[in-house]
Amino acid sequence: MSNKIEAVIFDVDGVLLDSMPTLNAAPSLYLEKLGIEPEPNLGDILFAETFESGAEYMINRYGLKFTTQELLKELIDFQEDVYINEMKAKKYAKETLEYLKQAGIPMVIATSNERHFCEGAMKKHGFYDYFSGIITSPEIGNTKENPEIFNVAMKMLGKPKQNTILFEDGLHAITTANEMGLPSIGVYDQESAHLKEEIKALANQYVMDLGEWLESTVAKNLKI
């Protein structure tokens, strides 16, 4: 492809923030707090889920005496302070956002996380004002295995699909983008390292970090 980049959709966790290890571990840590031994791969099972669908899984799998909304609040409260105040930005995230801003390219966020988590963290790291909007899976009502969140993001950006790119670390989201013809840049994250080859096969470009992207010919020419 050699389409001009006119708009960008960013994932947050694993792309802009180094948050995936903590997010993946949180449901297990919460169950342990209740005296319940979680299955070893619980984080992987819930990786593509929203907080709400993840809470439903945990209630059904572990027989928890909560409604979905009760457990959802428990999980959100459990993670909120750590997420906003302790999560570190991925290397070169700020530089990438500034580069795209200087190029006049509009950006939005499409995240599976809760809005107030995302907004709080983006403000904490000084990223918030780079974006013209935030779309979340909980508000859309679908995970990134469904194209709706990306369709909403593209409508917000107002640019042709072939001229919009998605920065993502998750195979499930890149698979969706690939199926709908949305160009994607796969970004390495340790939590999805075991899926690296599958992501590389689907993404239009794959980088180990955003610094590598900034040095690439795609970034320099703003074409993919």
Rounded CA-CA distance 223/216 in Å is 11
In what side-by-side order are the strands of the sheet with 107-111? 134-136, 107-111, 7-10, 164-168, 184-187, 205-207
What are 101-140's pLDDT values in tens digits? 999 999 999 999 889 999 999 999 999 999 999 999 999 9
What are 62-101's pLDDT values in tens digits? 999 999 999 988 888 888 877 888 789 999 999 999 999 9
Structural domains of the chain, ranges and CATH numbers in brackets: 7-19+87-221 (3.40.50.1000), 20-86 (1.10.150)
Q: Work out the average pLDDT over 190-208.
A: 94
**Token duo for residue 106:** 């509009």
Give the pLDDT score at 21. 77
**pLDDT winner (highest mean) among 17-26, 41-50, 161-170:** 161-170
